[in-house]
Structure 1
C-alpha cells in the first residue's frame, strides 16, 4: 500500500494530492473548510484497506495547489476540477471506476460534478453539507444564525484580518463550535494552520464563500425565494452523511436530502459526531461509505 504525495495536472491546474493504497478503484476524496487534504487521511486509509486507491487533493487555491485562474472559486469550477481529476487519474493509472467522497466544500464540489458529468462517478458519498443547501436554507431561519460566518466572510478587509488574526486562531474557534465533542489531535490543527499560512490560501478560502453568496442573493432578487424542488436532480447514486451534533449545519437540513437524487440515495446521521464527522467517527463513516460505494 502506497502512502505518498504527488502532483496531478487537471483542468488547467497543478493539484498537490495525498495518495493511499493501490487498489483497482479510485476514491477521489475532497476536503472542506477550514481544512486541508490531510483531513481525509483516516477515511482514505480505510478505503485503501478495502481495495480502493484514495486520492485526496488540496482543493484549488489551498496550500501547494495552484490558485484559480481569474479567481474562479465557484461551485461549478470545483465540480469541473473533480471531473477533470478523475478523468486524468483514470486515464493515467487505469482504474476500473471512480467514486467521489466529499466533505463540506468537497460535498459541494461533488454535487456540482455529478450534474456536470453524471457518468464520471459510479457513486458518491458526501458529508456535512446537504444537496440543495442554497435553496433549502431559506426554509430554515435558524440556519441563518448558524451560518453567521458566511455573512461575515462577505466583508472585505475585515474578514481577511479576522481570519489571519493570532495565527489563524479562528480555525480552532470554528472547529470547537462545529464539532463541540471532538478532541482533535494537535498535529491536525497545526497542519491546517500551516496550509492557511501558505500565500493565497486564506484569500481563496474566503472567495469560495463570496462566490457562493453573490449568485444566491442575485437570484433571490431576480426570481424570489427559491424552491429546492426546482433544482435539477442528481443522477449519481448518493450517500449523504450528517453528524448528529453538527454546530455548522443543522440536522433538519438533511431531512429531505434523498429527494435531491434521481438515483439511489441514502441519508445517514452519525451519533456522537459534529461537522467533522469523518475525523470524529472514521470507522463508522468508512463502513457506511465502503458499503454504499461497493453495492
Structure 2
C-alpha cells in the first residue's frame, strides 16, 4: 500500500509507540524528522507527494498508517479520540527520533492528521518545532456551531453517528462511498485510479471501516449540545504556540475556506495559505505548489 512516484527510495518499517505497532512509509535519512499523518477516507500513501519532497529537503520523512488503519494496530482500548491521536503523534516522534537519531521534528497533518497535530500541541507543545495542517482549521469543533453552512457540509459526521448503517454504506458497491466523498470534497480532481484503489484496499482490511468511523463517534460525543448547554466557542480553544502553517483548498467541499480566517485567533505564529483551484485533498491535487509551501516553511529555522 502506498506508492513512490518520485524522489528518494521508499522504505517500510514497523514502529512501536503509545502501545501500538504502526506500519510506516519512510523516505530520506536527514537529521530532522518529518511526521506526516493522513486523514479520512485515506491511508499513508496520501502523504507520498509531501513525504518524498521533505526527504529531498534533508528530512527523514515518515508517514504512518493511523491507529486502526490496517496494517497498523487497532486501539486496544477502543479509543479513537483526538487526544489519543495527538498522543500517538507525540510518542511516534519520540520513538522515531531515537531510532533515526534525529534532533528535531516537524508534523504535517491532513484532515484527521491535522486534528492530531492540534491535539499533539496541547499535549506537549515542545514535541514539534513546526506544525503544518491541511484542510482542517484550528478550533474546528467550535467553528462548526458558528457557521450553519458548515454544519450542513459536515452532514456525514452526523450520519456516522448512526449504528451499523454507515458501515454498510462505506462497503456498498466496492466502497463507492469513498469515490463519492472524494468527488464531493475535491470537485474537478481527476484522481488516479491506483490511488483510490489503494485506499479501498486499506478499508477492505478487517476492522478498518469500524475503526475509521469510531474517530467520528468518539469526537462527536454527544453529537450536539443538550438544551440549555453552552456551545463551545473559540475562546474555549487552547492557544497554539508552535509556529504553524495552515493550508486550505479554495474549492474544498468538505470544510469552508472561511473557517480558516480565524486561525490567527488561536495560533500565535501563523501563516494561512489558500490553494487556488484545489479542494480537500490539495496536497495531491496541487503537489508542487503545496509541497513548495511546506518545504519552505519547515526548512526555515
TM-score with structure 2 setting the length: 0.95
Matching of residues 57-136 of structure 1 within 5 Å: 57-136=64-143
Are 2:79 and 1:33 aligned?
Answer: no
Counterpart of 1:275 (choices 269, 280, 295) is 280
Counterpart of 1:212 (choices 219, 226, 237) is 219
SS at match of 2:220: helix
Q: CA deviation at 1:260?
A: 1.1
SS at match of 1:217: coil
Counterpart of 2:177 (choices 156, 161, 170) is 170
Q: CA deviation at 1:2?
A: 3.6
Q: Distance in 1 between matches of 2:152 and 2:65?
A: 29
Q: For residue 254 of structure 2, what is the aligned residue in structure 1?
A: 248
Q: Distance in 1 between matches of 2:222 and 2:74?
A: 21
SS at match of 1:7: strand
Higher normalized helix content (fraction of residues): 1
Are 2:59 and 1:52 aligned?
Answer: yes
Instruction: Give the RMSD, CA atoms, in angstroms.
Output: 1.2
SS at match of 1:18: strand
Check whether the contact 1:15–1:66 (CA below 8 A) recurs between aligned residues. yes
Counterpart of 1:181 (choices 180, 188, 191) is 188
Q: CA deviation at 1:167?
A: 1.6
Q: Distance in 1 between matches of 2:128 and 2:151?
A: 32
Check whether the contact 2:158–2:223 (CA below 8 A) recurs between aligned residues. no
SS at match of 2:274: strand
Check whether the contact 1:243–1:269 (CA below 8 A) recurs between aligned residues. yes
* Runs of 5+ consecutive residues of structure 1 not aligned to the other structure: none
Q: For residue 154 of structure 1, what is the aligned residue in structure 2?
A: 161
Are 2:242 and 1:225 aligned?
Answer: no
SS at match of 1:69: coil
Q: Distance in 2 between matches of 1:66 and 1:138?
A: 33
Pair 237,215 (structure 1): closer, same or farther in 2 beyond 3 Å? farther
* Runs of 5+ consecutive residues of structure 2 not aligned to the other structure: 1-7
Check whether the contact 1:115–1:235 (CA below 8 A) recurs between aligned residues. no
Q: Distance in 2 between matches of 1:221 and 1:100?
A: 38
Check whether the contact 1:134–1:216 (CA below 8 A) recurs between aligned residues. no
Q: CA deviation at 1:223?
A: 4.0
Check whether the contact 1:26–1:90 (CA below 8 A) recurs between aligned residues. yes
Are 2:227 and 1:201 aligned?
Answer: no
Q: Distance in 2 between matches of 1:228 and 1:294?
A: 30
TM-score with structure 1 setting the length: 0.97
Once the two structures are superposed, residues 164-221 of structure 1 have per-residue CA deviations (whole angstroms, 9 ceiling, x without a partner) of 1112110010000000121111100110000000000000010001111115535x55
Q: CA deviation at 1:230?
A: 2.1
Q: Distance in 2 between matches of 1:84 and 1:2?
A: 25
Check whether the contact 1:114–1:236 (CA below 8 A) recurs between aligned residues. yes
Once the two structures are superposed, residues 49-93 of structure 1 have per-residue CA deviations (whole angstroms, 9 ceiling, x without a partner) of 111111000000001000002210000000000000000011121
Check whether the contact 1:32–1:103 (CA below 8 A) recurs between aligned residues. yes
Are 2:18 and 1:11 aligned?
Answer: yes
SS at match of 1:34: coil
